[in-house]
Amino acid sequence: MTPAGSLLVAHDLRKAYGPTNALDGAEFSIHPGEIVAVMGPSGSGKSTLLHCLAGIVTPDSGSITYNGREMATMNDAQRSALRSALRRSEFGFVFQFGQLVPELTCVENVALPLRLNGTARKEAERTALSWMERLEVDDLKGKRPGEVSGGQGQRVAVARALVTGPRVLFADEPTGALDSLNGERVMELLTDAARSANAAVVLVTHETRVAAYSDREIVVRDGKSRDMERVV
């Protein structure tokens, strides 16, 4: 049964790589505007869970429902078309190392998802710059990724992930390559920006200080998930 009001739900997800069960009956749900931290040690299956939820990886079995649509019942062509559409407009992504395009300036990087969706350059860059201002990196608009610090580059990556107004932001170890000070600032700005846009955030991390920015925690161990109660 789908939890009432949930935007994205997964039930009994299973995924194996050879003899290794990356997911073994994992469960997940998130509401609009909610920030959920997915925690667990290395190799526990937390990144595989995020990749399945985001449509990057297809689970071997189980169900994934997004906005009331059950993707497991679709044929391959329907599922592929839906995932492509979701990645273009409703899903945003932030990875550990940013993955910015080195040949483009920072504002061009942020504007790229809009340009790929057909938005005119001036409009795309105007929207991109407004997000860069929110993430406090608008002064870097003309610089290329190799000319900025790791913390600055990660904030540019967050702006790029949010520029299309996604309903779900997937963040896989977004502070893993940063020192604690830069990591804290990235998380403050990421969560503030996501909440202002009412975007749900699936946050994969192994750090308790990063998970503290979430509304709820799910712990993954040996491919199984457990929803943890937040003690206030």
Q: For residue 231, what pLDDT is reported?
A: 41
Q: For residue 97, what pLDDT is reported?
A: 74
H/E stretch holding 157:
helix 150-162
Task: State how beta strands 91-94 and 168-172 pair.
Answer: parallel
Structural domains in the chain (count): 1
Question: Is there a domain that residue 126 lies in?
Answer: no
Question: Is there a domain that residue 141 lies in?
Answer: no
Question: Is there a domain that residue 125 lies in?
Answer: no
For residue 70, the SS3 value is strand
Q: What is the CATH number of the domain that holds 60?
A: 3.40.50.300
Question: Is there a domain that residue 207 lies in?
Answer: yes
Question: Is there a domain that residue 187 lies in?
Answer: no
Which are the contacts of 183, defined by CB distance < 8 A and separation ≥ 6? Answer: 151, 175, 207, 209, 210
Question: Is there a domain that residue 5 lies in?
Answer: yes
Q: pTM to 2 decimals?
A: 0.89
pLDDT in tens, the chain (232 residues): 446 689 999 999 999 999 999 999 999 999 999 999 999 988 899 999 999 999 888 899 999 999 988 876 677 777 778 777 787 889 999 988 778 999 999 999 999 999 999 999 999 999 999 999 999 999 999 999 999 999 999 999 999 999 999 999 999 999 988 899 989 999 999 999 999 999 999 999 989 999 999 999 999 999 999 987 554 3
Question: Is there a domain that residue 139 lies in?
Answer: no
For residue 63, the enclosing domain spans 1-90+170-178+199-227
- CA atoms of 24 and 13, how far apart (whole Å): 7
Question: Is there a domain that residue 148 lies in?
Answer: no
